[in-house]
Chains A and B, each alone.
Chain A
Amino acid sequence: MAEFRHDIKDSDLEKHIFQFRARLALVLVVLMILGLFARMVWLQVWQYDAHAARSERNRIHVEAVPPTRGLIYDREGRLLAENLPSHSLTIVRERAGNLDLVLRRICDLLEMGPGCVDEMHQRAMTRRRPFEPALLVDQLTDDQMAKLSVNRYLLPGVEIEAQLRRYYPMGEDLTHVLGYVGRINEKELKRLDPTQYSGTHYVGKSGVERFYEDQLHGQVGYRKVETNARGRVLRVLERQPPQPGSDIVLQIDAKLQKEANKALGDYRGAVVAIEPKTGGILAMASMPSFDPNLFVSGIDRKTYQALRQDPDLPLFNRVTHGRYPPGSTVKPFLALAGLETGSVTLDTVVNDPGYFQLPNDSRRYRNWKRWGHGRVDLHRAIEVSNDTYFYHMAYIMGIDDLSQTMQRFGFGSDTSLDVEGARPGLMPSRAWKRRAHNQPWYPGETLSVGIGQGYWLSTPLQLATATAVLAEHGRWVQPRLAKSINGKELPLITPDTPPDIQLHNPEYWDFVVNALVDVMSGPEGTGRRAGRGLTYKMAGKSGTAQVFSLAKDQEYDADKLPEHLHDHALFISFAPADDPQIAISVLAENSGGGSGVAGPIARHLSDFYLLPRLKAQQAEKEGSTDGETP
């Protein structure tokens, strides 16, 4: 059509063009609807026989073949999560006919108590894709299988399926690391890819099982089968095998983990051990624990209620979810912050009369030792855990610098790579207080934070992480559970890795580490009892977290307080100090002072892990020097 060149409106022309095009469009519409009609004729007349036959008998089914879940190993290759064969009862409710009747028969056959039919009904009605089997009973015994098989003709739509069931050989020792799998519930059904999970009955509910669900699950396969009218498979026409899930090797050392649980004994508490060079979590114990195998096939209500209502909270993962005031364990980090910001120097001396006072304020912030430590420098302040020195330092530093530097050590955020549900804790700051309490920050609060109390809350995992970063002189590696997935090592550094901590004067690192070594071995060290007889250099720091605040001049007297108000004992350590191979944080709830209870646990685990290794390293060294000398 010719190009129109008008700059004023020409109504007749517009109308003319429009009417032509509208009619043209109508012709096209008619043609396209004829096209659709032709398609229908093709489907409904031409291909009628094929479709009718297919629909009428509905014999060809596509069935999902679930993939085998990946296995989980520890760093030494010990099996931590495996799959055991088991038989379960499933039903395709579209084929059952009278569903309630069939369910009642099953309940009678298996001699299950009252309420069985209702429960079965609920399971059968779990929303799935049409003609997809729903799980009724797992772990059938041989006896039950025999009864069901004999009466199979009475149970249309019901199948006994051979399946693999998750099993955790270490039981309660690794629950809070591995998590567990459980039956897929309605909520998860909405979240999960219906295709991938069409043959799968279980999904990771917590821990590694949940975090690495996608990798562990694998790819679903399918088979096209021909069935008879009652839905029994006659012949497999075509199959696409599933792709099994990836095996995962963890950084966990199962022996150390077991020992950590044992070391905690009857205390409620947590132990985290990290290999500083790799960020690998060697052990992550939270006690008390429970047997995850209970949850795999569905826990009965009574046991579950007992677990839930246990005052010791076995279901609670203290390592990742427990938020505790870190107490004096954070003094080494605070010391570094003080040095870095110039609030104190290596030689700054503070006179400690047993308390600290803010200018123009009568309130006394007290040292843990009533009568004070006298003249204290930074080294001694760490060694004897002097509070007055740190009040003084925090006062000069101010909350802004303090909070910022501590955040660089990972306090107040989750820095983990793959620890499911790890909490950020709380690193208080001016902005936070305004947001959370709509109040300004008071100078006195800086003092509490300056000794790891006040609003400051951290998880045992955060403490261990910060310790590992300190051991590595500020080099960050995210703490992680997985070492390799399907043989592929995880990268050491990821985009989420926090930036390394660079100090103006790198000698500060050695200074603080030396002070920590003296905590364990110095004449006044608060951890000297735990450090007795060390054959390697261990750096450590004790801490005591107050569960509630004492009123002015009130004395803390453990005997007069109920147990749940007793102080929490904390301890952090790494060793050997000159070549760190293990960083540990220990928490024992309501057990009193850090040096008394938590210190010996850290020492014991250090010995347990290091002594055989140091010996082997020594032997290797000697062996190689032997080889060189003729």
Chain B
Amino acid sequence: MSQDFMRQMPDAEHHLSRRPGLIFRLHLDVWLLSILLLLMAGGLFVLYSASGADLDETLSQVYRLLFAMGVMVMLAQVHPRHYRRLAPFAYGVTVLMLIVVLIEGVHAKGAQRWLVIPGVFRFQPSEIMKLAMPLTLAAWLSGRPLPPRWKELLSCAVILAVPILLIAKQPDLGTSLLVGAAGIFVVLLAGLSWRLVGFFSALAMAGLPALWMVMHDYQRNRVLTFLNPERDPLGAGWNIIQSKTAIGSGGIYGKGWLHGTQSQLEFLPERHTDFIIAVLGEEFGLIGMSILMVVYLLLIWRGIQIAINAQDTFSRLLAGTISLTFFVYVFVNIGMVSGILPVVGVPLPLVSYGGTSSVTLLAGFGILMSIHTHRDLIKRA
């Protein structure tokens, strides 16, 4: 199936080499670029409705996205070998920032995530780790004999554990989950033997009760509420009940743009951030949902295709991981809003209101483009 699809898809570089234009010179990938633009444009419409037809908020999101696009274009110019070289450095600096955040960071909603550079801007170092982690692990593993064996696995575990614990301590369950997923994808794609995969899965299952012990009360509450939303109908359960009602009442065709009663009547909490897909579901129905999921699938598909065509192990591992992490984003967000996963703070990629996550996500796509457009014409062995 995937082979067929690839044949039908014209290879971007050949396609472009016939008329080398701006996009070629900017090292951009036409496929990724057009799907991303489609996604973000659609997302802005939903955001406008979700923010209660607030043009200012929508415009500020436009600026954020433009900035993030700028970052993407910049990163696409850099040759992958530089990424490989700089990976350990990026990792070290980000871990350092995570430590600083724990000591000096700014509180918001009971968690300590923000690092403020006064007068300039503020950001969450944990976001940067979402990219620094796959970069580092890919760089490290690609220099070792693969598939990874115990010695490599042990180092990977250390590289992975330090930032995850730091992020979990903030506490930010959603991000540590995503960073952890990124790390695990690198190892899996590097060829971890199935026997060990089975072993570690069993170990993780056994470790679940331990995780429960170290979770914060509010995190436990979320899990309990997920298992039984009626338990807390005034608090977290409210979100799930209301978002399910919003999506469900959209039906096949939806209530129409700006006409979602649940969302417009302010029944739906966090409707322009983590729960924005409920607005889409209510106003554009199953059709809108399906289009969105197809768009996401195309992005991931293209990302994995780039990974498969990449010419060295580092690029392959990195591209594959970025694509799969993006999928985790999508799956966890849609899953939690539609009530099949517990509520962890993961935004809907490139649609939810918010700056930092858009920047890291588009930065990831910038790296994908760099990998794809910096291939040698003569393949290396």
Contact = CB atoms under 8 A, between A and B. Distances in A.
Partners in one complex: yes
Interface of A: 1, 3-4, 6-15, 17-19, 21-23, 25-27, 29-30, 32-33, 36-37, 39-41, 43-45, 47-48, 50-52, 54-56, 58, 62, 64, 94, 129-131, 194-195, 198, 220, 222, 224
A13 B250 CA distance: 49
A36 B261 contact: no
17 contacts: A9-B144, A18-B190, A19-B308, A23-B304, A25-B189, A29-B304, A29-B327, A32-B331, A39-B335, A40-B247, A40-B286, A43-B247, A44-B251, A51-B247, A55-B248, A130-B265, A195-B232
A48 B293 contact: no
A18 B191 contact: yes
Contacts of B269: 129-130
B194 interface: yes
A421 to B, nearest CB: 22
Given A36-B331, A40-B247, A44-B252, A22 B313 contact: no
Interface string B306-318: 0110000100110
Interface stretch (B83-91, B200-208, B238-246, B351-359): B238-246
B183 interface: no
Nearest to A6: B145
A552 B272 CA distance: 71
Given A9-B146, A23-B2, A23-B308, A48 B249 contact: yes
Question: Which of B245, B246, B247 is the most central at the interface, judged by chain A CB atoms within 10 Å of its CB?
Answer: B245
Contacts, number: 161
Most chain B CB within a 10 A radius of its CB, from A17, A25, A55, A130:
A55
Interface in B228-244: 232-235, 238, 244
Contacts of A1: 193-194
Interface stretch (B67-75, B117-125, B129-137, B294-302): B294-302
Given A43-B281, A222-B234, 13 more contacts: A4-B147, A4-B191, A11-B381, A14-B147, A15-B313, A18-B307, A26-B300, A29-B300, A43-B247, A44-B248, A44-B251, A131-B267, A224-B233
**SS class, residues of chain B in contact with chain A:** helix
Contact of B296 (A3, A33, A45): A33
Interface residues of B, number: 59
Nearest to A193: B235
B266 interface: yes
Nearest to B253: A44
B57 to A, nearest CB: 16
Nearest to A48: B251
B293 A36 contact: yes
B94 interface: no
B340 interface: yes
Given A40-B289, A43-B247, A130-B267, A26 B188 contact: no
Interface string B247-265: 1111110000000011001
Contacts of B289: 37, 40, 44
B347 interface: no
B108 to A, nearest CB: 10
B320 interface: yes
Contacts of A58: 261, 265, 267
Nearest to A34: B293
B320 A25 contact: yes
A1 to B, nearest CB: 5
B34 interface: no
B191 A25 contact: no
B197 to A, nearest CB: 10
A41 B340 CA distance: 13
A45 B286 contact: yes
A29 B232 CA distance: 33
Contacts of A220: 234
Nearest to B290: A37
Contacts of A129: 238, 269
Contacts of B267: 58, 130-131
A1 B281 CA distance: 42
B103 to A, nearest CB: 21
A30 B297 contact: yes
A22 B308 contact: yes
B233 A222 contact: yes
Interface in B158-208: 188-191, 193-195
A26 B293 CA distance: 14
Nearest to B232: A195
B45 to A, nearest CB: 19
Given A3-B193, A39-B340, A33 B297 contact: yes
B266 A26 contact: no
Contacts of B247: 40, 43-44, 51
B234 A22 contact: no
Nearest to A5: B149
The 5 closest A-B pairs by CB, nearest first: A51-B248, A55-B249, A195-B235, A130-B266, A17-B191
Nearest to B5: A26
A27 B144 CA distance: 28
B249 A52 contact: yes
B145 A9 contact: yes
Contacts of B249: 48, 51-52, 54-56
B216 to A, nearest CB: 14
A39 B145 CA distance: 42
B35 interface: no
Given A37-B290, A40-B289, A22 B307 contact: yes
A21 B2 contact: no
Contact of B251 (A19, A21, A52): A52
A507 to B, nearest CB: 50
A56 B245 CA distance: 10
A196 to B, nearest CB: 9
Given A130-B265, A198-B234, A21 B248 contact: no
B32 interface: no
Given A9-B145, A26-B2, A45-B286, A55 B262 contact: yes
Contacts of A36: 293, 331, 334-335, 338
A175 to B, nearest CB: 32
B297 A18 contact: no
A188 to B, nearest CB: 15
B285 interface: yes
A18 B316 contact: yes
B33 interface: no
Contacts of A50: 248
Contacts of B144: 9
Given A22-B304, A37-B293, A45-B251, A55 B245 contact: yes
Contacts of B297: 29-30, 33
Nearest to B300: A29
Given A14-B146, A17-B146, A94-B265, A26 B301 contact: yes
Contacts of B316: 15, 18, 22
B205 to A, nearest CB: 19
A6 B146 CA distance: 8
A195 B234 contact: yes
B324 interface: yes
Nearest to A53: B249
Contacts of A18: 189-191, 307-308, 313, 316-317, 320
A52 B253 CA distance: 13
B230 to A, nearest CB: 10
A7 B334 CA distance: 43
A8 B316 CA distance: 19
A131 B267 CA distance: 8
